[in-house]
Structure 1
Amino acid sequence: MTGPLSPETPPIGGRYKISGWINAGGMQHVYLAEDQLFGRVVALKTPKDDTGARRFTQSAIVSAKVNHTNVAKTLDYLEAAGGRAVLIEELVEGADLETVLAGGLPYLPPMTVARLLHQLAKGLAASHHVKVVHRDLKPSNIMIVGGWKFEQAKITDFGIAKMAEQEIGAWADSQGNTQSKTVLGAIPYMSPESVENFRRYDMPSDVWSIAAIAYRLLSGEPPFGGGLSSVARILQAVPPPPPIHLAPVQFRGLGGQLHSIILKCLNKDPRARPTAAQLVTECETLCYSMVPYELGTISRTNGATGFIRADGGSDLMYYTGNFYGRQRKIEEGQRVWFQRGPGHPNDRAFPIVQLLPPVPRPA
C-alpha cells in the first residue's frame, strides 16, 4: 500500500482522477473521482491496509452481481500503483444514514421508516436473488439520496462485506472486548445466530439487520441496546416493545403495522423470519408518502398551533399533535424537519420532528 490519494495523484488506471476525499469507513477510504473516459463523477474506494486489500478483489466480483436501484452500483475494479486495490462505485448524492441522523434527527416517523424499510427490502431481495449476502448492514452502510430530504435509500458496501466478516468473525470467535469501529457499529444490528457464530451469517441475518435498523429509526435506539452490552439481549431475542413515540393516534396505525413486521424479522429462529422477497410483499401493504422532507424554523407559536417558516421562504401551519417523538417545548427559533401537505391559506406540516444539535461523529 502507498500513501493517501490526492488530486495530485496521476489518474488511476489512466482514467480515474481524484477530485477530493469524501470520508473513511471502518475498513476503507472513500474519494470523489472523475471518470475521464465516460465523463462522470464516481466514488473511488480503497482499503485502509493490506489485510483489506486481500479481500477487495473477491468482494468486487461479488458486489458487481447486484443490479438494483436501491443498491449502490459497483462500476469497476482495478489495481493502482503499488498493488493498491481500487473499487469504483456509483456516486450517491447525499449522505449515509448514520450521518443524516447525527445531523439532528433523533428518530424518524413511521411514514419515513416505512418508505426506507420497503426500499431496503427491495435492494436486499435483489442481492439475495443472486446469492449475495451483505453481512454488515448498519446505518453507515445505507446511503440516503438527498440527505435529510430522504429521496431514496441505497444499500452500499457489499464490496467490503467480506472484509467486515473477517474482523467481526474474529471478535465473535473470541467474545472479547474490542475497539474496532466495524465491530462496535455492527453489533446492535447482528442476529443471534451471527453473534453465536459469525460463520452462520446468511440471508435471514440480513433480514434481521434491516429490521433492527428500522426499529432504531422509529424509537431512537436499537431494539436490544448498543455496543457490547447488547450482546446478551440479542441472544435472548425478547421481542422489543412498541416505541413510545407511536402512542399518538396519528402515528399508531402505520406505526403498529411497522412494529408487527419488524417483530416477524426479529424472530430468534432464522427459519421463521420472512425472506427479503416476502418482506417486500409485507411492505407493499404499507401506505406512505414519497414527498421529500424540508427544513424550517418555528416562526410563531399560539398554543396548540403555530407557523413554520420553511427554508425556502414559505409559511406552513403546524399543530402540536403532528410532532413525532419526545416533544420538547415548542419555541420560536427552533429548527424542525417536516413533510408538507396541502392546506388553505397555508400548507400544513406533517409529520414534524424537532431537530437536536448535531452529534459529532468520531474520527
Structure 2
Amino acid sequence: MVRLAPGSAFAGYRIERLLGVGGMGVVYLAQHPRLEKWVALKVLNESLAAEPAARARFDREAAVAARLEHPNIVAVLDRNSPEDEYLWLSMPFVDGCDAAALVPPGCGGMDPARAADLIEQAARGLDHAHRMGVIHRDVKPANILVTVDPDGVERALVSDFGLATSLHAAATASSIGGSFAYTAPERFRGEIVDQRSDVYSLGVTLYQLLTGELPYTYVDQAALMAAHLQESPPRLCDLWPELPVGLTEVIVTALAKDPLDRFASCGEMARAVLEAVTPSPEVTGSPPIRPNTGGDTGRYLLPPGGFDVPSGVEVLRSERTRVSAERTRSRPPEGGRHRSQLGRRNLLRAALAAGAIAAVGGVGAIVVRGKSSAGTEPVSTAPALAPVKLDTGRTQGIRALAYSPDGTQLAVGADMGVLQIFGVRDRQRTEVPPEGGTIASLGYSAAGDRLTACDILGTVRHWGIQGGVLQPVGDQAFTKAAVSRVAASPDGSVLAVVANGSVQLYDSTDLHPFGDPFGQKASRLSFSPDGGQLAGVLPRTDGGRNVVTIWDVHSRNVISEWEIAGSAGVYCAAFQPSSSILATGDSEGAIRLWDTRTGAEVGSMQMPGVEAANLVFNSSGSVLASFGGDNTVSSGAGRIWLWNVSDRRAAREPLVIPDRTLVTAAAFSPDGRLLASGGTHGSLYLWKADW
C-alpha cells in the first residue's frame, strides 16, 4: 500500500493529509500543482499497478470515467499516464461525508423525504452515465458523497465511476465482499449487465437509507449471494409501518430478480420514491409505480452552518431505531436446503464470468444478408403502429442506428463494441465481432459502399461494402486520454472530436486534422444532414446559460452563436433537413426551434415530465421524434414522441415500446416510411409510419 507523508509531492500534487484507506488503495487530500484548489488523490495499491491486465482495464475505464460531466457525479480531473509506476486519479475534494455515515449501524434510517432527495440526485448522475454507456457496478451509500452548497442546500454526488468496472474483473470474492450486499443477481449468474444492475444497487441503497439496515444481512458470502438470487426482500410495511406504504412496492420493484421486472432507469425509480413520500389527499393506499409528471422536488435544507462528521451524523439521525430480530444472520431458507449450498455454485459461476477476458482475433470478410435492391417494402402486415421486433440476440444497450442510403440495411451499434447489420426487408442479421468500447455514432458513405463506426474510447473503425460483403479496411484511434466525445458526419467522412472542451475536425480515413481546433468550446455535437454545418452545445451545469455555436464545416467559420437562458441543461441538438432550423432538447423536456442564422427562437414543444435527451428528424424535416433517458410510462415502457414541425403539435399519441425498455437511439429510413428504435437490453423495433 502506498504511504505518502504530509508535505511530500506525488505526480505534481502536494500531499496535505490522509483522507481514508480502502481495499483498493489510499485517498489523500492534496493541492493542485498550479491551481489554488484541493483535490482528492486516490492512489491504488501496487499489486494492482503491477498486474498488466488490471492496469489495462483501469486505464481504459478511467478514460471513460473522465468523460462524465454532471453536477451529481464526482468528476475525474486527472489520472496517471501509461508509463507511470502507480495507478492514480485526482478528483474534486468534496467537503462532507458519504451517505453511509448518515445512517450508522444501530441508529435507524433517515427521514424518507431526505432519503428520496438523495436518491433522486444520485439517480440523475447515474442516468447521465448510462446515457454515456457507462455502468457503475458498485452503487452503494459509501459511493454517494454528500455535501452542502453555500446556500445550505444538500447535494449528493456519485463517486468512483469506472473503478468498479475495471477492477472487479480482477478482484477475488473476498476483496469485493463488502459490495456483495448491493450486487444485482445477474452479476452472480455471470450474465452481461446493463443499467438495471445499478437500479438494483440503488434500491438496496434506498432500503439502507430508510431503515439503517440492509435487506440481506448474512455474514457468509455464499448465503448472501443466494439471498440476492432467490430470496424476496423484506416488506418495509411489515417491519417499519411508520414509513410511507408506497415505498414497499418501490423496493419490491427495484430489487426484482429479473432485470426486466425492475424500473427501467434510476430516474424512474427516483420518481416513484418521490411520489411515495409525497402526501396526496386524493390517493390512499400504495401509490402506483409510475413517473412523476410534476415539477422538480425541492432540496433538503440543513440548519445554517451545515455539518461535519461526526457531529452532523448526530444531528441527522432518525428517531426510528427499530432493529428487526426476525432477520438473523444465519437463518436457513424455507424448504430445508440451506442457501449457502446454492450460493457456492453461483459463486463459482460468478468468479469464472468475472475472470474471463475475451480475445477477438482478426476479422475477415463478413457477408451482409440484407437485399441490395433500392427502396423498401412494408416490413409487416400488422396494423399501423404495431412494431416489428428485430432479434438482436444480444442484451447490450443500443446506442447508435443508421440506415444505408438506399434504405435496405440498418446498422446497429451497441455497448461493448457490438455492431450488427440488418436487412430491412428480410430482417436477417449479420454480426460483426465485438471490439472496443460502446459505439457512439455510425455513418454510411453517400454511395453506401463504406460504413464508419466511432466508439466512446476514441477508436474509429471502417468497413467497405461491395456486393453485400462487409470488409474491414482499418482502424484508427485517438489518444484515449484526450477525447471526450466523437461525432461522425452523416456520410462518415468527417469526424468532430471534443478534447479538453475544444472542437477539432478530422478526416475519418486517417484521422488527419482539418486545421486548428475551433476557438469556441462545446460538449454536445451534431452535424447537419448534408454535413456542411456543425452545431456545438456547451451546457452549463451551474444554473447558468447554455451556449450554442454553429460552424461552417468547410470554411470553419462561425455562422452564429447564441445563449439559451435557464437552469435546464441542453442535452441534444438536431438540424432540420433543408432548412436553417436547429432543434434543441433540455433536461426539463423543453424542445426549442432556433433560426441558425440569427439565433432567434422560432417555436417550441414540451415533453410531459420527461427530459428531451434525443432528437431525430425525418428526411423531409416535417416530423421530429423525441425521447429521453427517463422516458417511461406507468407500465415501465419507453415512449417516443412525434411532432409535426409545421404547427408544433404532436403528430399522434406517443409510440409505446412493448417490452418496457428505455429508448436510447432512433433513426428514420431515407424515404421516411420506417422509424427504427433501439433501447436497453438489445431492444430493436421497426415502426411503419402513419404520421
Is the TM value for this pair above 0.5? yes
How much does 1:245 deviate? 6.2
Residue 241 of structure 1 is matched in structure 2 by 235
How much does 1:114 deviate? 0.9
Query: Mapping of 1:50-61 within 5 angstroms?
Result: 50-52=47-49, 54=55, 55-61=57-63
Query: 1:210 is matched by which residue type in structure 2?
Result: L
Output one character per residue of 1:94-149: Cα deviation in whole Å (capped at 9) or x when no partner: 112223433874322212211121112111111101010011112221212159x9
Aligned equivalents of 1:105, 1:72: Cα separation in 2: 28
Long gaps (5+) in structure 2 = 279-297, 306-310, 313-317, 324-691
Structure with greater strand share of residues = 2
* Residues 245 and 291 of structure 1: CA distance in aligned 2, closer, same or farther (over 3 Å): farther
* Residues 289 and 72 of structure 1: CA distance in aligned 2, closer, same or farther (over 3 Å): closer
3-state DSSP of counterpart to 2:236: coil
Residue 38 of structure 1 is matched in structure 2 by 35
Answering whether residue 196 of structure 2 is matched by residue 204 of structure 1, we say yes
Aligned equivalents of 1:289, 1:34: Cα separation in 2: 31
Residue 90 of structure 2 is matched in structure 1 by 88
Maintained 8 Å contact 1:95/1:146: no
Long gaps (5+) in structure 1 = 172-177, 296-310, 313-321, 328-363
Output one character per residue of 1:129-172: Cα deviation in whole Å (capped at 9) or x when no partner: 1010011112221212159x99222111114113442245x43x
3-state DSSP of counterpart to 2:252: helix
3-state DSSP of counterpart to 1:291: coil
Query: 2:320 is matched by which residue type in structure 1?
Result: Y
Identity %: 30
Query: 1:27 is matched by which residue type in structure 2?
Result: M
Output one character per residue of 1:246-301: Cα deviation in whole Å (capped at 9) or x when no partner: 423xxx4xx22333222211111101212224234434535376121699xxxxxx
Query: 2:164 is matched by which residue type in structure 1?
Result: A
Answering whether residue 225 of structure 2 is matched by residue 231 of structure 1, we say yes
Query: Mapping of 1:108-127 within 5 angstroms?
Result: 108-127=110-129
Aligned equivalents of 2:88, 2:255: Cα separation in 1: 36
Aligned equivalents of 2:102, 2:245: Cα separation in 1: 25
* Residues 167 and 80 of structure 1: CA distance in aligned 2, closer, same or farther (over 3 Å): closer
Residue 69 of structure 2 is matched in structure 1 by 67
Query: 2:8 is matched by which residue type in structure 1?
Result: T
* Residues 3 and 23 of structure 1: CA distance in aligned 2, closer, same or farther (over 3 Å): closer
Answering whether residue 320 of structure 2 is matched by residue 324 of structure 1, we say yes
Aligned equivalents of 1:206, 1:107: Cα separation in 2: 21
Aligned equivalents of 2:246, 2:29: Cα separation in 1: 40
Answering whether residue 258 of structure 2 is matched by residue 269 of structure 1, we say yes
How much does 1:188 deviate? 1.0
Residue 9 of structure 1 is matched in structure 2 by 8
Answering whether residue 292 of structure 2 is matched by residue 292 of structure 1, we say no
Aligned equivalents of 1:81, 1:57: Cα separation in 2: 11
Aligned equivalents of 1:45, 1:106: Cα separation in 2: 31
Determine which of 168, 183, 189 is the counterpart of 1:190.
183
How much does 1:67 deviate? 1.4
3-state DSSP of counterpart to 2:80: strand
Residue 140 of structure 1 is matched in structure 2 by 142
Query: 1:20 is matched by which residue type in structure 2?
Result: R
Aligned equivalents of 1:282, 1:73: Cα separation in 2: 27
* Residues 159 and 324 of structure 1: CA distance in aligned 2, closer, same or farther (over 3 Å): same
Residue 248 of structure 2 is matched in structure 1 by 259
Aligned equivalents of 2:39, 2:208: Cα separation in 1: 30
Aligned equivalents of 1:243, 1:220: Cα separation in 2: 15
Aligned equivalents of 1:150, 1:246: Cα separation in 2: 28
Output one character per residue of 1:63-113: Cα deviation in whole Å (capped at 9) or x when no partner: 112211111111111249961122111111111222343387432221221
Residue 25 of structure 1 is matched in structure 2 by 22
Output one character per residue of 1:329-352: Cα deviation in whole Å (capped at 9) or x when no partner: xxxxxxxxxxxxxxxxxxxxxxxx
User: What RMSD, in angstroms, separates the aligned Cα atoms of the two structures?
Assistant: 3.1
Determine which of 105, 130, 143 is the counterpart of 2:132.
130
* Residues 150 and 235 of structure 1: CA distance in aligned 2, closer, same or farther (over 3 Å): farther
Output one character per residue of 1:5-47: Cα deviation in whole Å (capped at 9) or x when no partner: 22342352x3x21111100122121010111312111111111
Answering whether residue 145 of structure 2 is matched by residue 155 of structure 1, we say no
Residue 213 of structure 2 is matched in structure 1 by 221
* Residues 113 and 259 of structure 1: CA distance in aligned 2, closer, same or farther (over 3 Å): farther
Maintained 8 Å contact 1:215/1:259: no
3-state DSSP of counterpart to 2:30: strand
Aligned equivalents of 1:204, 1:278: Cα separation in 2: 11
TM-score, normalised to structure 2's length?
A: 0.38
Maintained 8 Å contact 2:2/2:26: no
3-state DSSP of counterpart to 1:32: strand
Maintained 8 Å contact 2:153/2:299: no
Residue 330 of structure 1 is matched in structure 2 by none
Q: Which has the higher contact order (CA 8 A, sep 6+)?
A: 1
More displaced stretch, 278-287 vs 108-117 = 278-287
Maintained 8 Å contact 2:30/2:41: yes
Maintained 8 Å contact 1:42/1:90: yes
Maintained 8 Å contact 1:265/1:273: yes
Aligned equivalents of 1:293, 1:245: Cα separation in 2: 31
Question: How many residues end up aligned between the 2 structures?
Answer: 283
* Residues 276 and 100 of structure 1: CA distance in aligned 2, closer, same or farther (over 3 Å): closer
Determine which of 265, 278, 292 is the counterpart of 2:268.
278
Maintained 8 Å contact 1:187/1:226: no
Maintained 8 Å contact 2:79/2:89: yes
Query: 1:291 is matched by which residue type in structure 2?
Result: L
Aligned equivalents of 1:10, 1:326: Cα separation in 2: 48
Aligned equivalents of 1:214, 1:244: Cα separation in 2: 17
